[in-house]
Amino acid sequence: MSYANLTLSECLATGCDEPKCYERKWYIFLSSSLVTFFGGLLMILLFRLFTYVCLRRGKVEAAPAVQANANGKGSTNAIFKNSESEVGWMTSIKDWAASLISAQTISGRILVMIVFMLSVGSVLIYIYQTEAPIERCFKVTEDVVWQIDLGFNLIFLLYFGLRFIAATDRLWFWLELNSLVDFFTIPPIFVSIYLERHWLGLRFLRALRLMQLPEIMQFLTILKTSNSIKLANLCCTLVSIWLTAAGFIHLVENSGDPWLAFSNPQVLTYWECVYLLMVTMSTVGYGDIYAETTMGRVFMTFFIMGALAMFASYVPEIMELIGGRRKYGGSYNGESGKKHVVLCGHITYESVSNFIKDFLHKDRDDVNVEVVLLHNSEPDLALEAFFKRHFTHLQFFQGSVLDSTDLERVRLKVADACLVLANKYCDDPDQEDAANIMRVISIKNYHPKIRTIVQLLQYHNKAYLLNIPSWNWREGDDVICLAELKLGLIAQSCLAPGFSTMMANLFAMRSNSEAEEAEPNNGKGKQINQDTWQKHYLAGCGNEMYTEYLSPAFNGMSFTDVSEFCFTKLKLLLIAVEISMDSTDSTIAINPGHNVRTREGTLGFFVAASAQEVKRAYFYCKNCHGNINDCRKIKQCRCDSEKRLPLIYDPEYNISGKEDIAALSMIPSNLEKGKYNGNISPGGSPHRHGPSTPRTRPRCGGIAHLHISEELYEIRRQGLPSLPLSEQKEIDEDTKRFDSTGMFHWCPSTNIDDSILTRNQAQMKIMNGHVVVCIFADKDSPLIGLRNLVMPLRASNFHYNELKNIVLLGSLEYIKKEWETLKNFPRVHILDGSPLSRADLRSVNVNLCDMCVILSANQGKSEDPYLQDKETILASLNLKAMTFDDSIGLLRESSQGFVPQGLAPILGSPKSLSRRGSAVGANVPMITELVNDSNVQFLDQDDDDDPDTELYVTQPFACGTAFAVSVLDSLMSATYFNDNALTLIRTLITGGATPELEQILAEGAGMRGGYTTPQLLNNRDRCKVVQLPVYEGPLAQYANGGQYGELFEYALTKYEILCFGIYRFRDTTATTATPSSKRYVITNPPLEFLLMPTDMIFCLMPFEPSKESTYPGRERSSKRRKRDGDRERDRERERDRERDNGEVRNHGRGGHPQASPLHTNNHPKEEWDETLC
């Protein structure tokens, strides 16, 4: 609006009376700002000059005083005493003001946010007032908008004062941008009160305050990353300059040039000015709107030079930041009432798919848990497609577990657990473990109470987790050590072949329908006939481990009775129970027999096909379900738990449970109690189970066999010790035969040179029933962790004469690296050679071994996944191609019927079977470790497995001759849903590793020996996993047409032996043209399952308190030597009588033992160098 040529109506529209409406007083408003700025600047300069002069004068006057002080005539302290006291209160006020404006306190943050919000409000008021004339009259008491703006400026003035007080350099403070904004916006508002006239003026400068928005957003923790802060700074700077420049154009164009008496104005709205500057900055320049005033054109000239450069640099950078913004940024917003877990670590399609397949399995109860993945890199296309298929259960966020900001994004503090996956195929396992341990440290540092489950590759790295203060297994924290479990399963397979396959199938979630779909084909797209061995094997694959509380109907019953009832009536296999010893402590007892009675709240460990089936043990009621024959009809009834009658009334049963506690005195002392809060972590439960008992003589096909006499069973069942306690103490206390925990056999440190055998020395030994470990590794290879393989083979619940000799065949340089962890185990020998050398294999009598284990430490060095297992596959094929002229091992047929390879009828009875060595290497029992599952197709050339067949349905895996670490993937989800399951599995596999032992090993000094006291010997009393033959021994009555249910009930009730599976020959019919010696695993067969004479039964058998054999190298007192001599003479007389009766065949001194009837608990005398112990 031109104020030079106003009409009367236009003049009155300004709110001023005539002739005031024709007057312009903009210069007064502008002068107030200039006077304030320059006046203050002059005062600051004068004050600085005054201060400089005074300080200089003070230094001159202080010089004589300082000199006098140096001469001992005075002190300079008094000179500055008054100045220091005056500065003290000023410094306090300055620090207080600085804390406010820097938002160091809550009140300071509130103040900064209020000032920013008022600045935004002031800009909005300015934009609103641009619709009115540039200069106008008004009534102070009537203009509400002006009153609000006045209140805003009062607060701005207060904030300016705080900033001035806190400034360290007031000159630079006076010249900074925010101060200039205040100079040209605050004084005019007070001038308008006096003039009763309003000038729009330079209030658009308040838009520059928008550049403080990123700082405010950082205070509110909205901006956390450097990219987001940078993006906010660029955008706010660009918008602030844009809006400020638009305000200047609006002022000069609507006012006109002052030297022309404002006669050339152009009416433009504020938004038209914003549009003009945008098309100018972007170099588009439509020309529909342009500056007409001279001041406007001059401003546009300079603005284009600066704004164009800014636009050209800012906009591409902004677009780059926006385009480079992580697709998987943001934060997790969970649904109310739905839990979530954080999955991190090694995130790939393979690892995530294996985890999710087991985690969301349909056999579990409804899984109302969402999985939130956190990883540094963006997912590949396969993983993205997987997320889309499971978008209802999965969310992916890109970030680092080591960054607390990213942990906040995934809401770790409210997560149910955090799971850390490891890269099983990495080149450096120690580095991978170190990375995962750092992730755990970061997680625990952010939230100490979060339940954490981590995968580690090496056993020795578990010790570092104990250094984390907030790591607490009692709260559910757990570690899954892949080397410990992998080698433990392989070790158990040396004692009971097929056990690794059975355990791997039990802790993996698979339904029967999936097993049928996964059934292998013959390579031509057609499924193999269901009448073959796959039918029974796949049926067992549908079983898993579950936990469920027992019904009150079982109260007062012994474990043996409950297990028998569950198997026969409920079709459930109960293998262990958790017993609460008081309100806080509990223990897990595996097959405790009649020693333990169940009571209210007893938790059972079951093997069943689904979680719904296990509910039968909880729902069972004698009143409602006593007459039901179909277990599928057992559902929850309306009876209260207190009204459910027990199945057996025992008047001697103490309902208080004290009898149970007394019965548990047999539990190893160092494992007896574990803190119980609903979670049992590794080692928190008693280890009453261990590795299977080795057989005396190996059988073709890797039969781990145990002959158990009727008399020995009666001794165990009646609980009769082999010697009185006082005599046992006298025999054992003066030597160390076991480690300090009593869980493993121990010997003094053995020098590695004493354990090395040359090829000739090995050939002179009578190696029989031993374990050959073939190792592909060199001095630069990462550690395999052979201690985890040896420990289960040296469990203390074996007698010394039952221990299998172990021969390590491989590079001596590598074995030296492992020897520090093996030197305290007895009967371990080394042959420096190559697993591919047939001469080395023959020298250790590989055809007479119980198991040949093939391991490699070089599996992660090849980039081609199919070549990762080349060494182990070549060694396996090389051994299978070997022939041995000193063994028979050929298929025989007789009038007795079909007998599998390696078992020949003797004396006309199929029950009397002689031991046969392996005539060909294909019959040597072996287990090969694989990295790539698909490489299993190369192990057996005669198998018809399709390359795309899943590992668990291939013949080598089903027969227990192949093992891949991938089968342990499902342990992560199994541990999350049931932390007791890992404790049970670890105890069955490791042979009794305890937290106490892990603490000892963490010291790095190796295992320590313990004096053989009765308390230490008590720790040996724990269950074993064994294989019992059907064709002889106490189970022989079921060899011809017996049913598995009958055998199960007989073994459990009479001998307290719990059966849980069958190891059967693959070819069991005489119509088979070329029958194989391979066996396969049948897990938890049904009651009516028919047995065969050649079947081997997987069992949980209690410890046998038989007489211990003499230990080599022991120091004996004269009394003990005399007693031992008397016993030895008695044994010689007994052997002479047996020899006269023709019951014992003598062994040749230089050859192999002759064929003799199978007695598996008494090893033939071996000519090993026992002084090595």
The 3-state secondary structure of 1087-1149, one letter per residue? CCCECCCCCEEEEEECCCCCCCCCCCCCCCCHHHHHHHHHHHHHHHHHHHHHHHCCCCCCCCC
Q: Is 687 exposed, middle or buried (0-12, 13-18, 19+ CB in 10 A)?
A: buried
Only one residue has tokens 């598996």, namely 1160
Confidence (pLDDT) at 1058 = 92
List, run by run, the mean pLDDT of 10-residue segments along the chain (1173 residues).
52 64 79 91 89 75 56 48 54 80 78 87 89 80 86 90 87 89 90 84 87 81 78 88 90 86 84 89 81 89 84 82 74 83 92 86 76 90 88 89 91 92 88 94 93 91 88 86 91 91 85 54 46 83 89 90 92 88 71 86 89 89 81 79 54 41 39 32 31 32 33 38 40 66 89 91 83 92 90 89 92 92 92 93 91 85 77 92 64 36 35 51 89 85 68 87 87 84 82 74 77 81 87 87 91 91 81 69 92 91 66 44 56 59 40 35 36 32
The values of phi and psi at residue 771, to 5°, are: -120, 125
Beta strand 1096-1101 with 1023-1029: parallel, antiparallel or unpaired? antiparallel
Which residue from 863, 860, 872, 873 is spatially nearest to 782, judged by alpha carbons?
A: 860
Q: How many helices (H) and strands (E) does the chain have?
A: 40, 31
Q: Which residues contact 391 (CB under 8 A, 6 or more apart)?
A: none
Q: Which tokens belong to 438?
A: 């750092």
Cα(479)–Cα(1019) distance, integer angstroms: 24
The values of phi and psi at residue 1091, to 5°, are: -95, 160
Confidence (pLDDT) at 1052 = 92
Tell me the whole-structure pTM to 2 decimals.
Answer: 0.68
Q: Which tokens belong to 5?
A: 């040529």
Q: Which residues contact 765 (CB under 8 A, 6 or more apart)?
A: 757, 845, 1167, 1168
H-helix or E-strand spanning residue 319: helix 294-323
Q: Which residues contact 1031 (CB under 8 A, 6 or more apart)?
A: 910, 911, 913, 1039, 1093, 1094
Contact 819, 767 (CB under 8 A): no
SS3 308: helix
Measured in whole angstroms, how far is the alpha carbon of residue 769 from the centre of its chain? 38
Longest CA–CA separation in the chain, Å? 149
SS3 651: coil
Q: Which residues contact 190 (CB under 8 A, 6 or more apart)?
A: 32, 153
Other Cβ atoms within 10 Å of 73 Cβ, number: 10
Cα(514)–Cα(1173) distance, integer angstroms: 50
H-helix or E-strand spanning residue 843: helix 838-843
Cα(681)–Cα(576) distance, integer angstroms: 16
Only one residue has tokens 């798919």, namely 353
Cα(1034)–Cα(845) distance, integer angstroms: 32
Q: Which amino acid is at 606?
A: F
Only one residue has tokens 């008054």, namely 82
Confidence (pLDDT) at 265 = 84
Other Cβ atoms within 10 Å of 133 Cβ, number: 22
Q: Which tokens belong to 329?
A: 């940024």
Q: Which tokens belong to 844?
A: 């250790």
Q: Which residues contact 1115 (CB under 8 A, 6 or more apart)?
A: 734, 735
Contact 664, 672 (CB under 8 A): yes
CA-based R_g, the chain, Å: 43
Beta strand 851-856 with 926-930: parallel, antiparallel or unpaired? parallel
Cα(432)–Cα(103) distance, integer angstroms: 42
Contact 3, 22 (CB under 8 A): yes
Which residue from 1077, 1104, 1092 is spatially nearest to 1160, judged by alpha carbons?
A: 1104
Contact 826, 739 (CB under 8 A): no
Measured in whole angstroms, how far is the alpha carbon of residue 482 from the centre of its chain? 11
H-helix or E-strand spanning residue 1023: strand 1023-1029
Segments in 507-558 forming alpha helices (H): 512-517, 534-541
Contact 771, 851 (CB under 8 A): yes
Confidence (pLDDT) at 1168 = 35
Q: Residue 4 to residues 8, 153, 209, 256, 1145: CA-CA distances in angstroms?
A: 12, 32, 34, 10, 136
Contact 543, 575 (CB under 8 A): no
Cα(729)–Cα(1013) distance, integer angstroms: 6
DSSP state, 575?
E
